Amino acid sequence: MGMFNNKVGFKLFGFSDPTISKTTVCILGIFLIGIVACQESAVRTKLGIPPKQPEAIIEEKAKKADAFEITDAQCVLCHPKQPQTIKIYGGKHETQVGCSDCHLEHPPKGTKAVPECSMCHCEKAHYQLDQCGSCHTDTHAPLNLTLEGEISDPCLACHMQQGEELANHPSAHTEMACNECHYEHRKVLNCMECHSKHTEDMNFEFCKSCHPVHMPLVVTYSEDTPSEYCSACHGEALGLLEQNTTKHHDLSCAYCHKNKHKTVPSCYACHDKPHPDALMQKFHTCAMCHDTAHNLNRLSGQVGKWSSRKLEFKGLTIQRH
C-alpha cells in the first residue's frame, strides 16, 4: 500500500482514518495519472513537441503489430473451412498465393478484409466485367461457378475461340445461351440429351468425331466412318447404293465423300475419261446417262429411252451397262 500504510500518508491527502475504501483508491489513482499526464504535457510544451493525437497512437501500435508476421498456419486457427476448400478447388489460388497475399487487412485494424478481384486480375477482357461475385461466388473455389441467367457475354469474354466458332458458323446452337448446355462450369452436355442418335450404337464420342459442338454443321469425319451413320439423313442414297450391283456397292459413303460433309467428287477422281470425245461432247455430264453414283444399274435421261442393247452414235458402238 506504500504511503497509504501509514498515518502520515493519510494526513498528506487529508485523511485522518487509516481505513480506506476501494473507491477512494481508484479516485486517487486517477488523480495521480492526471498529475503525470499534466507533467508530460508541460514537458512536451517546453520542448516544442506537439501533443500526441489518438490517430498517431493507433498508428504507432499498428507499426509494432506489423513487426509480427502472421502466417497461414495462424489464419487456419480461426478460419479452418477456407483452407480446406482452397486446397481442393482453389486452382492457382491454392498454389501461388497465401492468405495474407489477398487479405491485406483484418478487422479491427482494417475494414477491407476481402480484396477486390482487380487487385490481381486485370489484364484480360474477362477481368474488366462487373460483379465478379455473381458467378465466382466463392473466391476460395474460383472455378466452381454459379451460372444463372443469360450470361453468354461473360462466358465468351473468357472462351473467345468458342464464341468465334458460333458466330462464324451459324446454327441453332448460335442462338442458345452458353449455360443452356453448360449448366455447370466445364461440364459438357451429352448430345443425346437434346438430339436423337443416328444409330443405336452411337455415343457422345462418335457425335463429336463428326460434329464440333460449337459449329455442328461443319461436319468432318474419317474414312472409316460407318455408312450407317450417314443413312440417318441420307437413307435413300444408301438404299440405292446397297441395291447397286456395280463395284460402287462395296464402297462406303466416306470413301467418295471424303473428309468433309457435302463433298461431291468428280467421277474423274476415280475413273479416267471412259468414252470417246465425240460422245462426251454430246453427253457432257456422266449423270446424263448414269443417273447418280448411287444408282448405276440403269441408264437415264435421253439415253434411257433407247432400248437396244448396243447404241450406235456416229459410227461408234456403245455398250450399255
What one-character-per-residue DSSP string does 151-169 give? -HHHHHHH-HHHHHHHHHS
pLDDT-above-70 percentage for the chain: 71
pTM of the model: 0.58
In 3D space, the residue among 140, 165, 133 whose CA is nearest the CA of residue 75 turns out to be 140
Computed over every residue of the chain, the mean pLDDT equals 79
Return the C-alpha cell found at 283. 453427253
Is 60 exceeded by the pLDDT of residue 53? no
Contact between 273 and 222 under an 8 Å Cβ cutoff? The reply is no
Q: Give CA–CA dist 134/121, Å, rounded.
A: 16
Q: 31 or 279: which carries more pLDDT confidence?
A: 279
Contact between 223 and 255 under an 8 Å Cβ cutoff? The reply is yes
Lowest mean pLDDT segment, chosen from 147-151, 156-160, 294-298, 299-303: 299-303
Contact between 219 and 210 under an 8 Å Cβ cutoff? The reply is yes
Q: Tell me the one-letter amino acid at 295.
A: N
Mean pLDDT over 219-234 rounds to: 90
Is 70 exceeded by the pLDDT of residue 151? yes
Q: Give CA–CA dist 137/247, Å, rounded.
A: 63
What one-character-per-residue DSSP string does 168-215 give? HS-SGGGGS-HHHH-SSTTPPPPGGGTS--SSTT--HHHHHHH--TTS
Contact between 147 and 135 under an 8 Å Cβ cutoff? The reply is yes
What confidence tens digit (pLDDT) does each residue in 84-109 have?
999 999 988 888 888 988 898 888 87
So what's the pLDDT on residue 28? Answer: 62
So what's the pLDDT on residue 306? Answer: 41
